[in-house]
Amino acid sequence: MRRSPLGSILARGAAALGLGAVTGRADMLRNIDIDLLRCFVTVAELRSFTRAASALFRTQSTISTQIRRLEELAGQTLLQRSPHEVQLTRIGEDFLAYARRIVALHDEALDVVNAKGVSGTVRLAVMDDYATIVLPDTLARFVRSHPGVELEVTTGFTRDLLNDLGGGFDLVLATQKAGDGRGDVLRIERTSWACSDSHDGARVEPLPLALLKAPNMYREWALEALNAAGLRWRLLFSSSSIGAVEAMAASGAAVTVVKAGTARPGLRLIGAEAGLPPLPASEIALHLAPGRPSAATRALRDHLHASLKPGDGAEAGIG
């Protein structure tokens, strides 16, 4: 008998758990309740039974019972509980990838069976520089290809946007430190110091800086790196606008920190040759609100993934 895609994923999941040779246990996994998998994925992503309960509109005790049932079926401990946070076990990390795929395939199958056109509202939140430079054409293509979808886009700082994921936003395109481990990583961005391409502001002491207002990850990285290197600096310009910060640096008045792939014209990327310390790499990750996403949300997620993710091993901003 030919195995269905869902059955194949379940079978590989059983093998990942070391249960492929156990016929009875593997059979149970093939018939596992999708609600248990959805519960597990939500807890794993939110690292909290309490937040998962809120996202799935269930009680915390129900979430705990479902996770225990899943672990009983799997015959493995998938989550380590602590008073402050929930962590995946090694087996849990392996199983999470399969669980995500199973839940996604289940949801897509329901949409096909229901034979509904993709429609509805999708609320996307994104960093200002990507909204200005990277996404306009990408989002325009999505709007043209999905006329039944009403797209709402909000820009802001990653921390603020992520705090409202699942509340005000269905999807958040975020900047985070490379290796953060959250969300679907679409690309790696080289983080770089930058100054005017016609002035050498990096040789001034103390180093004049143009940075985004706190709290901001790039601001923190810049100041931590300069302090660790023992370099003197002064904050000349601070703003909540990436465009304003980069414009000040392009004028020659200050040095700033940018994503190499989105730095505005008039800026020159600099680093060790200018006596400046290295900065951590950053990654662009797409975060999906917990719970079952709408067909419209999944359509935008898939569109962004296909449009923004480079080939294996590629890195944005280097070329």
Q: How many domains does the chain have?
A: 3
Instruction: Answer yes or no: do 82 and 179 share one domain.
Output: no
Rounded CA gap, 256 and 45, in Å? 33
Which amino acid is residue 88, in one-letter code?
L
* Residue where a domain terminates, one of 92, 114, 136: 114
Does 315 fall in a domain? no
**Residues 14 and 87 occupy one common structural domain:** yes
Measure the CA–CA gap between 247 and 20, rounded to whole angstroms: 59
Dump pLDDT digits (tens) for 105-163.
Answer: 887 676 555 435 688 999 999 998 899 888 998 899 888 888 889 999 999 988 899 99
Say whether both 125 and 270 belong to one domain.
no
Distance CA 255, CA 245 (A): 9
Full domain range(s) for residue 304: 120-189+283-308
Residue 313: inside a domain: no
User: What is the predicted pLDDT for the residue at 290?
Assistant: 87
pLDDT at 265: 84
pLDDT attached to residue 28: 44
First to last CA, the chain: 50
The secondary structure element, H or E, covering residue 61 is: helix 60-74
Are 239 and 129 in a shared domain?
no
CB 241 within 8 A of CB 210: no
Helix (H, G, I), strand (E, B) or coil at 85: coil
In a domain, 317, yes or no: no
Which ranges of 168-319 does DSSP label H, i.e. alpha helix? 217-228, 242-250, 295-308
Are 26 and 14 within 8 A, CB to CB?
yes
61 and 148 within one domain? no
Q: Look at residue 314 and tell me if it is in a domain.
A: no
- Whether residues 301 and 160 share a domain: the answer is yes
Residue 235, domain member (yes or no): yes
- Among candidate residues 67, 92, 114, the one where a domain is terminated: 114
Whether residue 129 sits in one domain with residue 168? yes
Going by C-alpha positions, the residue among 118, 182, 180 that lies closest to residue 148 is 118
Domain contains 264: yes
- Please name every residue paired with 26 in a beta bridge, in sequence order, or none if there are none: none
Dihedral sign from CA coordinates of 246, 187, 163, 288: positive
Residues of the chain with pLDDT under 50: 1-2, 19-29, 114-115, 311-319
Q: Are residues 181 and 299 in the same domain?
A: yes
Do 85 and 127 belong together in one domain? no
Other beta carbons within 10 angstroms of residue 22's beta carbon come to: 14
Domain assignment of residue 316, yes or no: no
Residue 45 placed within a domain: yes
pTM: 0.64
Same-domain check for residues 71 and 131: no
Alpha carbon 272 to its chain centroid, in Å, reads 29
CATH number, position 84: 1.10.10.10
Do residues 262 and 293 share a domain?
A: no
In this structure, the answer to whether residues 148 and 288 fall within a common structural domain is: yes
Check residue 13 and give its pLDDT.
Answer: 55
Tally of residues, the chain: 319
Q: Which of 185, 183, 160, 186 is nearest to 289 (CA)?
A: 183
Name the percent of the chain lying above pLDDT 70.
82
- Residue 234's CATH number: 3.40.190.10
